[in-house]
Structure 1
Amino acid sequence: MAFEPPQRLLRALGDRTEWLGHLPETVREAVDRRKLDVERLVAPGGRSSVVLLVRQADGTPAALKLAPPSAAPALEHAALTAWNGWGAVRLADGDDGLLMERLHPEVSLRSLPEAKALLEAAGTVRRLWIEPPAGHGFETVAARTARQAAAMTSPAGEPLVAAALAAREELVAAPGEVRLLHGNFRQGKVLAGDRAPWLAVGPEPVVGEPAYDLARLVRDRVEDLVASSSGASAVRRRLTRLADALEVDRDRLHGWTLFRAVESGTRALAEDRRAEAELTLEFASWL
């Protein structure tokens, strides 16, 4: 089977991993072992994995996801196993890549009007917040954000960085309830399905309080918010609506939204993604 990695993945990983060099062979072995028929590659795809739409030997449609060790596919496997299809894509086989039920990759919550998308997103993420399984190996929110905080340096956003770091210190000093979280939940990570209308994909699982998980959703469609003359007030209304709808403390959601936005913005600056950084840091300045 001829296979070429998608350009988006090549640009994201560059020459930082040997995994790309072995990817055609990895795909071939994963497909042959399961006796899959490959229909097509999902393009443009993600920045840390490839997804192939396939059919199993009995004709059942499925999706095969392959990711490098740096993307922690074993933790994604563990989270999907814990959810067992409740609010998330169902895992069929995870021994060699992740074989999952087929969703509709071209239809995410971003295809809906904003108000409807936020409503559906809230209903989906609530299902994911379960008790972490016994003996789990998931990172904690405190540990993940400590690593991120250590890398947050940016003269361009110095006051914001200081405010974000202070917010994080206050939040981790008095942690909230502990749940299994998606870790990167946003509208683009919720796809249309047949078994359920909407299902989450692509978790970067972590354990901690739900406010951390919800914070990334507050920032969704940031380009539309920044382009609007009422962007700042729209953000505050969105934050309040999500906090109320999901019974999350508004102040804690505000703090995690600030930290995650500034962390994302400073990381984008460090990686010379200036347009993305400017949007994200402007959003953070409204909080």
Structure 2
Amino acid sequence: MAPAPHVEPPQRLVRSLGADSPWLAELPELVRESMTRWDLTVERVVAPGGRGSLVLLVRRADGAPAALKLCAAGAGAEAAALARWDGHGAVRLLDAAPETGALLLERLHAEISLRSLPEAKANLEAVSALRRLWVPPAPPGAAHPFTTVAEHTARAVDRIREHIPKEARPLAGEALELRSALLADATEELLLHGDFRQGAVLSADPGRAHWLAIGPEPLVGERAYDLARLVRDRLHDLGATSGAASLTRRRVRKLADSLEVDRDRLRGWCLYRAVESASRQIAAGNRADGEMLLEFAGWL
């Protein structure tokens, strides 16, 4: 095994966590631990990377390529979801040390996501990947470790009420009412990706499905919740077109029909998730992004 290299975290990660993040200070040691545990040689850091994790391209002892992902917030749920999917529709988990937030993954083409395709083709491939991900969260009779959509969304209720601006309070109220109604009569309990979008689906090597999902934030709930994030993909491009509202509603219809999801339930979760994301952006000081998300919610 080669000596542990100096690892420079990408600026996106530094900005997201803060330059004084204790986790960033621990990164060199976390890299060394993972290199020792799995006998790895580091090639390079993937940039710009994510906002909550560092990904390095590595080689295993036999020379096989892999990717090492170190997660700032822990990796237990992600590891469990990837193990459950076992490479079907998602990147394959080779090994994991959840206690240190480390995942050893098959290497995909980090520079080629569905966002490199025209929108219609990208959505077609996204739908294909999602079909493979929506499975029961555990074998029959077994318990699962995942948070439910009800539990996850409950954590955002106070933030929505506090941070959505006064002029958008009616929209926030509608979002919260929709959440309650959708949860009250939900009938599905499937394993969801949780953050499924075009940028989270990467190209794979020959012999595998061409497109595989990465970076799940797994939840258990209904398909419409998972699909809702995809509806607002390429949001700034959508906002720059004429007739954005009608195009948005058309997206809802097409994506719902392609996956046999109820249109009204998809529209409801789209609106809720846009408002929830807007509250998070505004709370973080990203008011322009928050306002764009509220505008999207209004189109619905």
- Same fold, judged at TM 0.5 (above): yes
Match of 1:270 among 259, 262, 283: 283
Q: Distance in 2 between matches of 1:112 and 1:252?
A: 28
2:27 is matched with which residue? 23
SS of equivalent residue, structure 2 residue 157? helix
**Which blocks of at least 5 consecutive residues in structure 1 are unaligned?**
none
2:251 to 225, 234, 238: 238
Q: CA deviation at 1:60?
A: 0.7
CA distance, structure 1, for counterparts of residue 120 and residue 145 of structure 2: 36
Provide the rounded CA distance (Å) in 2 between the counterparts of 1:81 and 1:34.
Answer: 18
How far the C-alpha of 1:33 sits from its partner, in A, is 2.3
Counterparts of 2:80 and 2:23, CA distance in 1? 22
The 8 Å contact of residues 93 and 99 in structure 1, kept in 2 or not, is answered as: yes
Structure-1 residue corresponding to 2:81: 79
- Code of the residue aligned with 1:180 in structure 2: it is L
Matched, 1:186 2:197: yes
Secondary structure, counterpart of 2:112 in structure 1: strand
**What is the aligned-residue RMSD (CA, Å)?**
1.1
2-side partners of 1:14 and 1:185: how far apart? Answer: 25
Q: Describe the shift of the 1:2–1:16 C-alpha distance in structure 2 as closer, same or farther (beyond 3 A).
A: closer
Structure 2 partner of 1:225: 238
Does the 8 A contact of 1:4 with 1:24 survive in 2? no
Query: Is the 1:121–1:187 Cα contact (8 Å) retained in structure 2?
Result: yes
Deviations 1:55-108 (A, max 9, x none): 11111110000012x2x4110000000000000000101125100100000000
How many angstroms apart in 2 are the aligned matches of 1:123 and 1:131?
17
TM-score normalised by L of structure 2: 0.93
Counterpart among 156, 168, 173 of residue 179 in structure 2: 168
Kindly provide the CA deviation profile for residues 160-217 of structure 1, in whole angstroms up to 9, marking residues without a partner as x: 1011001101101111211000000000000000122000000000000000000000
Partners of 2:228 and 2:130 in 1: how far apart? 12
The residue that corresponds to 2:121 in the other structure is 116
**2:160 maps to what in 1?**
152
Secondary structure of 2:104's aligned partner: strand
Bigger mean CA offset, 25-34 vs 247-256:
25-34
Question: In structure 1, what residue type is equivalent to 2:85?
Answer: W
What is the alpha-carbon distance in structure 1 between the residues aligned to residue 20 and residue 146 of structure 2? 25
Report deviation, 1:156. 4.1
Conserved in 2, the CA contact under 8 Å of 1:184 and 1:204? yes
* Counterpart-to-counterpart distance in 2, 1:17 and 1:211: 35
Distance 2:233 2:27 in 1: 32
1:34 pairs with 2:38: yes
* 1:94 alignment partner, SS class: strand
**Change in CA separation of 1:171 and 1:16 when aligned onto 2, cut-off 3 Å:** farther
Map of 1:141 onto structure 2: 149
Report SS of the residue matched to 1:232.
helix
Name 2:92's counterpart in structure 1.
90
For structure 2, the 5+ residue unaligned runs are none
Q: Which is further off, 138-147 or 6-15?
A: 6-15
In 2, Cα distance between the equivalents of 1:242 and 1:7? 35
- Distance, in Å, in 2 between the alignment partners of 1:105 and 1:149 is 34
Query: 2-side partners of 1:33 and 1:247: how far apart?
Result: 44
Aligned pairs for 1:36-51 (under 5 A) are: 36-51=40-55
Q: Which amino acid aligns with 2:51?
A: R
Indicate the percent of aligned positions where both proteins have the same amino acid: 60
| Cα gap change, 1:16 to 1:281, in 2 (>3 Å) | farther
